[in-house]
Amino acid sequence: MKTVRKSIILSIGFLCLSVSACKKDLIKMNDNPNGANPATINPNLVLSTVLTTAGMQMVNLGYQDMAGVMQHTQKDGWTTAHNEYDWAGSNSWSEYYDVLRNNQLVYNRGVALNSELHQGVALVMKSLLFGLITDLWGDAPYTHALQGQDGTPASTLPVFDAQQTIYTGILADLEKANTLLSKPKSAYSNPIDAADVYYQGDPVKWRKMANSLALRYYMRLSEKLPQIAKAGIEKMVADPAQYPLIMNVDGSEDATMSFPGNSNADSWPANVAYDSDSSNYRRLKMCSTFVKALQNLRDPRLGVWANKVQCFLLVDDTKPAGTGTVYKPVDTVVNGEQRKVRYISPDVLAAKGLTVNDINQDQNYVGLPPAISGPAVYNLSPDASQASRNPHVSWLNDIYKQPKGPLLKSRIISAAEVRFILAEAAAVKGWAAGDAETNYKAGIQASFNVWGVSGSTAAYLAQPAVKFNNTQEQIIVQKWIASWTAATEAWADYKRTGYPVLKAGPYAKGPVVPVRLYYMLEERNLNKANEEAAAGRLEVTTYSSFGANGANNSPWSKPWVLQGTGKPW
């Protein structure tokens, strides 16, 4: 009997041990063996993803649809979003918040490791991305964003903070970053060199980026909160030791990201190396607004950014009327360069209801007008299949076919931008921000340097149309030109100033250039109450009826930073 009792006790004991072991095994099964533990991960592994993803996002915006809004480029295939602002709520901020969540992990690990370098860099990136979000949409989740793991209603369905709150938070974070990044590199025990694709772990340059971004956002507030903007900018300019800025015109301090070019994922967008039919490259053409501005200023950057037309048109009035002659392209020599020319008899134009004024006979550069009907066949293109092979307009320079190259960079903030901000602050606002003309010229010099045409700077600056005239329009137009492939910042300047003067094309979804993106469908479905409250704070304008989602969520309704300013229209 005792033996049986002992056997039962032992069996129960083994069963308890087995259950305990199974419980531990089940817990282990819930751990992802290939995942990273947020409590122990090396923050550099996440930081590299934050920087590269953000860099790609910035160039995708500035080289693609924002370049269409700001009329740097137009498309002649799949045109509606790029040329016509036909967004219909499809633009989502999810990808930016994805990066922000990873960036928050970098910051948290920086705090846990007492790594001020990681904390400072993470605050700079947080400011950059939240600044981008509020610039594009207006009010947005900020205070309660990035807290979804808490599971509370406030974190899973966050309110949309007022735009003023977001800008104020950004400036506070950048002030903190300036302090965290103020030590020499040797003083930081946790280096980021290998992960840092912007500055290779140099805290001095990150500090300059932080302060330059603060300069950007102070200027963003200059119409709405001029006293705060004035105090912030003057404070920084008066103490360059405490608030160093990106100032070197050689481009060595610019926040940029190059491309390895090993795959489509890490290459210049729309390159032809990973696109077998090159359609993404071909669809982008120069916009006539931009081409004409550059031609009027004899700007040598045009030749860096654009190809000459492959075949130019000339009207031949030597043929008698009624012959209907269209000459096939023939080789000719223009300025010592062998090119093709296509001659057209005037009666051919008349038969199409056109005159000489309806075609562009420029022998070098021809841009697509904004938001026109049938851009693929513009300027009597023989491309009947509309395959974006129009030889009578300027394609982008061949460098943009490549997956990488010395000029192919995501350009995040530059000395050119900083110099133009200081020039505007001094010349237009009258603030103590340095000598306006010196900074204006330095902004142009900085852009010429990074695009490889520095030798032309003196002649360019000597032109009457370029000589400094103390006007906001002149400064912002030069800033717009310098923002090539980074047009998102040019859009922010346009909204704030109304410059450059742009006209929406005839097939655009609204009669003027829009000022924001729609709140996207996912927010309207999942976070409806907070989205509707934010949309209700937009200022309905004369043009708010245009668009797909009503006046309260229109790209032509003004967010707080524009309300009451009379800008841009």
Is residue 217 predicted with pLDDT exceeding 50?
yes
- Distance CA(15)–CA(18), nearest Å, equals 5
- Distance CA(73)–CA(105), nearest Å, equals 37
The 8-class DSSP code of residue 22 comes to H
- Percent of the residues in the chain that have a pLDDT greater than 70, as a whole number: 92
Q: Cα-atom radius of gyration of the chain, to the nearest Å?
A: 28
Is residue 15 predicted with pLDDT exceeding 80?
no
Backbone angles phi, psi at 333, to 5 degrees: -120, 125
Token pair recorded at residue 180: 């965290």
- pLDDT in the model for residue 29: 45
pTM for this predicted structure: 0.92
Which H helix or E strand runs over 104?
helix 94-112
Helix, strand, coil percentages in the chain from 3-state DSSP, rounded to 5: 50, 10, 45
Position 203 confidence tier, pLDDT thresholds 50, 70, 90: very high
- pLDDT in the model for residue 385: 87
Token pair recorded at residue 214: 């603060």
CA distances to 28, 50, 106, 124, 268 from 41, rounded to whole Å, are: 18, 15, 9, 21, 30
Query: Hey, where are the domains in the chain?
Result: 283-400
Q: What is the mean pLDDT of the chain?
A: 91
- Taking phi over 0 as left and psi of -120 to 50 as alpha, with beta for the rest, 298 belongs to left
Q: Are 288 and 296 in contact (CB under 8 A)?
A: no
- Percent of the residues in the chain that have a pLDDT greater than 90, as a whole number: 79
DSSP 489-534: HHHHHHHHH--S-----TTSSSSS---SPPPPHHHHHHSHHHHHHH
Token pair recorded at residue 45: 């592994």
> 338-374 pLDDT, tens per residue?
889 998 888 888 888 888 999 999 999 999 999 999 9
> 469-489 pLDDT, tens per residue?
999 999 999 999 999 999 999
Position 517 confidence tier, pLDDT thresholds 50, 70, 90: very high
Q: Which of 19-28, 29-38, 96-105, 376-385 has the lowest mean pLDDT?
A: 19-28
Q: Which residues contact 305 (CB under 8 A, 6 or more apart)?
A: 286, 396, 397, 451, 484
DSSP 85-99: ---TT---SHHHHHH
Token pair recorded at residue 71: 């009329």
- Distance CA(57)–CA(60), nearest Å, equals 5
> 395-416 pLDDT, tens per residue?
999 999 999 999 999 999 999 9
- Distance CA(477)–CA(444), nearest Å, equals 11
**Residue closest to 310 by CA, chosen among 288, 342, 283:** 342
Token pair recorded at residue 363: 């022998």
Is residue 16 predicted with pLDDT exceeding 80?
no
The 8-class DSSP code of residue 141 comes to -
CA distances to 72, 79, 271, 284, 362 from 376, rounded to whole Å, are: 17, 10, 20, 11, 18
Token pair recorded at residue 187: 């003083």
> For residues 383, 87, 489 and 477, what is the CA-based torsion angle, rounded to 10 degrees?
50
For the beta sheet containing 330-334, the strands, ordered from the edge strand earlier in sequence to the opposite edge, are: 311-315, 337-344, 330-334
- Distance CA(56)–CA(423), nearest Å, equals 29
Instruction: Give the 3-state secondary structure of 249-317.
Output: CCCCCCEEEECCCCCHHHCCCCCCCCCCCCHHHHHEEEEHHHHHHHHHCCCCHHHHHECCCCEEEEECC
**Residue closest to 420 by CA, chosen among 210, 207, 212:** 212
Is residue 28 predicted with pLDDT exceeding 50?
no
Segments in 138-225 forming alpha helices (H): 153-156, 163-180, 203-220
Cis check: omega of the bond before 500, within 30 degrees of 0:
yes
> 426-455 pLDDT, tens per residue?
999 999 999 999 999 999 999 999 999 999
Name beta bridge partners: 285.
74, 395
Which H helix or E strand runs over 332?
strand 330-334
